[in-house]
Structure 1
Amino acid sequence: MYYGDGTGVHACGKLFRKSVLIQHPYPIGKLYEETFATPKHVLAAEKIAMVTKATYNYYRRAGSITTSSFTAKQLDFFEAIEENEQSVIPLFPNHPQILKALQYRQAIYGIALLDKMYESHEYELYRRYRKEIGKLYRTVLFNKKGSRVDKIRYLLFLISPKLYNIVKNWYQKTN
Structure 2
Amino acid sequence: MCEISIIVPVYNVEKYLKKCVDSILNQTFKDFELILVDDGSPDNSGMICDEYAEQDSRVRVIHKENGGLSDARNAGIDVAKGKYIGFVDSDDYIAEDMYELLYRNIIKEDADLSICGIYDVYPGKTLKKKELFYKVLDSIETMILIFHGNNISVHAVNKLYRSHLFSSIRYPLGKYHEDSFIIVDIIDLCNKIVIDSTQSYYYYHRVGSINTEKFSERQFDFIEAWTKNEKKVIGRNNELDIAAHQRVCFAYFLVLDKIIKSNSENNIAETKKIVSFLRRNYFFIIRNSIFTVQRKVSMSLLMFSVKMYKLVTTLKTS
**TM norm structure 1:** 0.82
Task: Please say if residues 35 and 77 of structure 1, whose CA atoms lie closer than 8 Å, have aligned partners that are also in contact.
Answer: yes
1:97 aligns with 239
* Counterpart Cα distance in 2 of 1:109 and 1:60: 19
1:131-162, Cα deviation, whole Å (9 max, x unpaired) = 11222222211113433333234334444433
- Tell me by how many angstroms 1:96 deviates: 2.1
Count of residue correspondences: 170
2:312 aligns with 167
1:113 aligns with 255
1:76-114, Cα deviation, whole Å (9 max, x unpaired) = 112112211222224x1xx22212212211222321211
Which of the numbers 155, 166, 186 marks the counterpart of 1:21? 166
* Counterpart Cα distance in 2 of 1:158 and 1:87: 30
1:144 aligns with 289
* Counterpart Cα distance in 1 of 2:291 and 2:215: 26
* Counterpart Cα distance in 2 of 1:97 and 1:138: 17
Percent of residue pairs identical: 28
2:85 aligns with none
As a proportion of its length, which structure holds more helix?
1
- Tell me by how many angstroms 1:52 deviates: 2.4
Q: Secondary structure at the match of 2:269?
A: helix
Q: Secondary structure at the match of 1:55?
A: strand
* Counterpart Cα distance in 2 of 1:43 and 1:75: 25
Instruction: Report 1:23-172 matches (<5 A).
Output: 23-90=168-235, 92=236, 95-118=237-260, 119-120=263-264, 121-172=266-317
Task: Specify whether residues 160 and 53 from structure 1 end up closer, same or farther in structure 2 by C-alpha distance, changes over 3 A only.
Answer: farther
Q: Provide the aligned C-alpha RMSD in A.
A: 2.3
Task: Specify whether residues 78 and 172 from structure 1 end up closer, same or farther in structure 2 by C-alpha distance, changes over 3 A only.
Answer: closer
- Tell me by how many angstroms 1:10 deviates: 2.3
1:11 aligns with 156
Task: Specify whether residues 105 and 155 from structure 1 end up closer, same or farther in structure 2 by C-alpha distance, changes over 3 A only.
Answer: farther
As a proportion of its length, which structure holds more strand?
2
Q: Counterpart amino acid of 1:82?
A: T
* Counterpart Cα distance in 2 of 1:26 and 1:51: 25
- Which structure has the larger Rg over C-alpha atoms? 2
More contact order relative to length (CA 8 Å, sep ≥ 6): 1
